[in-house]
Amino acid sequence: MKKRKMLVGLLTAALATVAAAGTASAAHSDGPVPKEVQVPDGARQIVAMHGHGVQKYQCADGKWSLLEPDAILEEHGVAKILHTRGPVWTSVVDGSSVQAKAIGTSAVDNAIPQLLLQATSHSGAGLLADVGYIQRLHTSGGVAPTGSCTADQAPVSVPYQAEYVFWTDVTAPSGN
């Protein structure tokens, strides 16, 4: 119950952040996937979702650096996953979560890069329990502010959108 309350609180805060920051232009869900962010052969798609939120940046050594993402991933317009610092994705439906690290990147003009991430840890049973790879594709917005900054400046939230695709690990046993 406590974890569900925390997730609902995080979802509410994330929605407020997105509303306050505005929205980025729509991400495109078509087009080829660059080879740098393709999943290995044998991986099976679990789910694909549209994500929207902000990339939060803080001033470090006179320049803006990523502090954390704060986004909501939706399936058919319904919030299903929170994306936060780690990076971590947590299901608001079943509490399962996955943490991952970037293993591939593909630059995008005027947007955060597309990524291939590999799972490094899991928590709980449910939707995200068998995730081996995550793709962040068709990104829009989210680019760090340009120019110098000072340590006393407040963090900056930059709206973004992307498509997230969750895949099994190629070594995971098949459910069939």
| pLDDT on residue 2 | 53
Hey, what amino acid is at 160? Y
Question: What is the value of pTM for the model shown?
Answer: 0.81
| pLDDT on residue 96 | 98
| pLDDT on residue 14 | 45
| pLDDT on residue 30 | 55
Q: Under DSSP, is residue 37 helix (H, G, I), strand (E, B) or coil?
A: helix
Measured in whole angstroms, how far is the alpha carbon of residue 60 from the centre of its chain? 22
Structure token digits, residue 59: 């001033």
Distance in angstroms (rounded) separating the CA atoms of residues 89 and 81: 6
Grouped pLDDT means (10 residues each) for the chain, 176 residues = 48 41 36 92 97 97 96 97 98 98 97 98 97 98 95 96 95 56
